[in-house]
Structure formats: structure tokens, C-alpha cells
């Protein structure tokens, strides 16, 4: 048998699956719903929902949570934010970041020496507007990650937007499959959590339309977990997250708060 293949037994696989740390969402109910106490490293997670349901907010929170000190069980790592639709705002990120670090101080009952400039440097941002620029960056992504090994979270916000340009369904499907296969390989090999936001679209049926996730049914099976976010009361700051699909947890509902 070729030495390039490693055969695992079930115990080893279980140890690998349960041994990877997770990024907390700062909501215990949401962490419980997602499973693994948050977004586990090595996984691909899709956040699906209408505008205003908290997709970008949750992504920003995860980019802050990745900096939780190791003394509190955090990763004290870095994040990469790939913005395809001008959703990112540095002002909002700073608000969430320093509120999160302040909470860490309170939990430790001591003062953590926080250098604002160093904390901000732990987030790497790239605007990948347009399909050509988006694909070009993802092609270079492995090299970028190799140069910054402390990055443990990659956010793509959103995956659907670049594909709104003139591209056929067949081309889009093939390109998406290749991109996701490369992302999945990168996530597993480098133990990085990949969080992808997606939009909703209307599917026309025989009698009426239905609101479904963009990019089609085949796309829905590309991620390890799929969370549908909703805002039950648009004037309230509470959001619900329904775990539609998971390879490690049953269907469940969690909630989180947006500021």
C-alpha cells in the first residue's frame, strides 16, 4: 500500500473531531445550538438570511472572539475578512472588539494590558469586489495563510454577491465547487474556521414563490453547517439562528443579540 495514505481508526477520528477548539459567539444559547461550543476550527459554516438578520454582525463578533486570551480558553489568534459587498465597517468592528475585550477583563477580574493598535492588527481585511478579483484572491489565499500562520478564522461576506455578474449557471456551479474544495482543504489542513454569509432569493414555484438560499440546492451541501438567521421583531435587537444542517449536531435554535 502506498505510504502516502494514512489509515485512521474510529477512535483516532473521534479524537480529531472533538479535539479541535472552537470560536465562541459570545452567546451561550447560540454556541449550544451550533454545537462544539461555537464555530469549530477546521469547519465551513454558512450564515444564511435576509438583510438585517445579523449575518455581518455575527461575523464581526467572531473576528473579535478569535482574540480572546488563552488564559480564558481563547485562541488569541487572528482573522481574515474577505468583503465582497462593502458590508464591513471599521467603526463597528472597533466597537465590538473593545466591548469584547472589556468583557474578558471583567471575567478575569483584573486589567488586561490592551494595545488598541495591536488588537486591530489581528484583523486582516481585503476588498474582493467583482468576480475576477474575488477568484484571484482565493487563488492566492493558501500563500497568504502560509505567511500568517496565526490566522484561524476566514470570513467571506458574501459568497453570492460576486456571482451576480454575467456568468452561466453551469460556469457558476463548476467554479463554486472548485473554490469550495480548495477552501475545505485549507480549513482542514491549517485548522482554520471558514464562515461564509449567503443571501436569500425567490424561487418561483407552480403557484407561488418561496424564499430560499441563493446559489441553488447543490450549494447547500457544500458547507459542514448551515445556519438560517432571522429577525422575529425587526425593531428588536434579538436574532434567531436555526441550525438547518450539521455534520455533528442535531437541528436546533439559538438566539443572539445585535447592538
Q: Does the residue 2 lie in any domain?
A: no
Q: Does the residue 162 lie in any domain?
A: yes
- Rounded CA-CA distance 147/161 in Å is 28
Tell me: the pLDDT tens digits for 9-44?
Answer: 888 777 777 778 999 998 899 998 888 889 999 999
Q: Does the residue 193 lie in any domain?
A: yes
Beta bridge partners of 115: none
Dig out the grid coordinates for 176 from the structure.
463554486
Dig out the grid coordinates for 141 from the structure.
489565499
Q: Does the residue 140 lie in any domain?
A: yes
Q: Does the residue 8 lie in any domain?
A: no
Q: Which among 51, 31, 49 is positioned nearest to 40, based on CA atoms? A: 31
Dig out the grid coordinates for 45 from the structure.
459554516
Q: Does the residue 236 lie in any domain?
A: yes
Angle between helices 131-147 and 169-190 (to 10 degrees): 10
Q: What angle do CA 90, 22, 12 make, to 5 degrees?
A: 150
Dig out the grid coordinates for 88 from the structure.
464591513
In this structure, the number of other CB atoms found within 10 A of the CB of residue 206 comes to 4
pTM of the model: 0.89
CA 91 from centroid of its chain's CA atoms: 20
User: What pLDDT, on the 0 to 100 scale, is given for residue 162?
Assistant: 86
User: What pLDDT, on the 0 to 100 scale, is given for residue 183?
Assistant: 93
- Rounded CA-CA distance 163/208 in Å is 25
Q: Is the dihedral of CA 125, 130, 136, 138 positive or negative?
A: positive
User: What pLDDT, on the 0 to 100 scale, is given for residue 206?
Assistant: 46
Spell out, as residue ranges, where the chain has pLDDT lower than 50: 1, 206-207, 209
Domain harbouring 61, CATH code: 3.40.50.300
What domain count does the chain have?
A: 1
Which domain covers residue 39, as residue numbers? 24-257
Q: Does the residue 225 lie in any domain?
A: yes
Q: Does the residue 11 lie in any domain?
A: no
- Rounded CA-CA distance 90/43 in Å is 26
Amino acid at each position: 500500500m502506498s505510504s502516502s495514505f494514512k489509515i485512521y481508526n474510529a477512535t483516532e477520528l473521534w479524537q480529531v473531531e472533538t479535539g479541535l477548539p472552537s470560536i465562541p459567539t459570545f452567546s451561550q444559547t447560540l454556541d449550544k445550538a451550533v454545537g462544539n461550543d461555537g464555530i469549530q476550527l477546521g469547519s465551513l459554516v454558512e450564515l444564511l438570511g435576509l438583510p438585517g438578520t445579523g449575518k455581518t454582525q455575527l461575523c464581526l463578533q467572531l473576528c473579535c472572539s478569535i482574540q480572546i486570551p488563552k488564559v480564558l480558553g481563547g485562541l488569541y489568534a487572528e482573522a481574515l475578512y474577505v468583503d465582497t459587498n462593502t458590508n464591513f465597517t471599521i467603526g463597528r468592528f472597533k466597537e465590538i472588539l473593545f466591548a469584547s475585550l472589556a468583557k474578558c477583563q471583567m471575567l478575569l477580574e483584573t486589567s488586561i494590558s490592551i494595545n488598541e493598535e495591536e488588537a486591530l492588527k489581528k484583523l486582516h481585511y481585503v476588498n474582493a469586489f467583482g468576480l475576477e478579483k474575488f477568484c484571484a484572491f482565493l487563488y492566492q489565499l493558501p500563500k497568504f495563510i502560509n505567511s500568517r500562520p496565526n490566522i484561524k478564522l476566514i470570513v467571506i461576506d458574501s459568497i453570492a454577491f460576486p456571482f451576480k455578474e454575467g456568468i452561466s449557471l453551469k460556469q457558476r456551479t463548476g467554479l463554486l465547487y472548485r473554490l469550495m474544495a480548495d477552501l475545505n482543504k485549507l480549513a482542514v489542513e491549517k485548522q482554520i474556521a471558514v464562515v461564509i454569509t449567503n443571501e436569500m432569493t425567490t424561487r418561483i414555484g407552480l403557484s407561488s414563490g418561496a424564499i430560499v438560499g441563493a446559489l441553488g440546492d447543490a450549494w447547500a451541501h457544500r458547507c459542514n453547517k448551515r445556519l438560517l438567521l432571522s429577525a422575529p421583531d425587526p425593531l428588536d435587537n434579538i436574532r434567531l439562528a436555526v441550525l438547518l444542517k450539521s455534520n455533528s449536531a442535531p437541528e436546533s435554535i439559538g438566539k443572539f443579540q445585535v447592538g
